[in-house]
Amino acid sequence: MAQTQTREPGLHTVSVTVNGTHYSREVEPRQLLVYFIREQIGLTGTHVGCDTSQCGACTLLLNGVAVKSCTILAVQVDGADIKTIEGYAEPNGKLHPIQQAFWEEHGLQCGFCTPGMVVTIDQLLRDNPNPSEAEVRKGLDGNLCRCTGYQNIVKSALSAGRKLRGEEPFEKPDTAMTEAAGVH
């Protein structure tokens, strides 16, 4: 006789691929995607800053498009391909060019907004590989930095664009020298 899987009443199965790994979880219909990612998948780099679609700390890529994951229900993403901040660096720890640019340009202070900023800049630079400073500022207007580090975040985005276009080395020479000297 075929075995039936018992499921608590009212729960729905959601299957997704996150950073290349497949997951299947039972969720309540009211569960927001950001909590699904943090609490059920266990990837806590996607942050909750406001829960009301204001701050952008919860931004991730859903089927290649940057979205605020506090505005979406987990049950709406069944079958989706998701990329979170944990999917940006390479398995050997080599940073993504956007992360490298944040490091070099001092684009973060407490770092709370940084995952959302990186994902939003990824989308921005795919849509417009050579943005002006004004276009970067406009593209980031849905992401808030409570440390008000906007100047360096914008510098980081512009530097990331140059790196991705091959106009700037992945690692700036002064950073390489600092590392070689063991100064971090």
- Closest to ligand FES by CB, 16 vs 60, is 60
Pairing state between β 21-27 and 59-62 = unpaired
Q: Cα(12)–Cα(26) distance, rounded to whole angstroms?
A: 5
- Closest to ligand FES by CB, 21 vs 71, is 71
Residue selected from 67, 82, 113, 125 as contacting ligand FES according to rule CB under 6 A? 113
Burial per residue of 38-75, b for 16 or more beta-carbon CB atoms within 10 angstroms, e otherwise:
beebebebbbbbeeeeebbbbbbbbeeebbbbbebbbb
Annotate each residue in 41-80 with x if it binds ligand FES (CB under 6 A) or - if it does not, as one string.
-------xxxx-xxxxxx---------x-x----------
Hey, what are 105's tokens? Answer: 């340009």
Task: Report the nearest approach of ligand FES to the CB of residue 152 (Å).
Answer: 9
Q: Cα(80)–Cα(60) distance, rounded to whole angstroms?
A: 12
Interactions with ligand FES, residue window 2-41 (CB under 6 A): none
146 lines the binding site for ligand FES (CB under 6 A): yes
Interacting residues toward ligand FES by CB under 6 A: 48-51, 53-58, 68, 70, 108-113, 145-147, 149
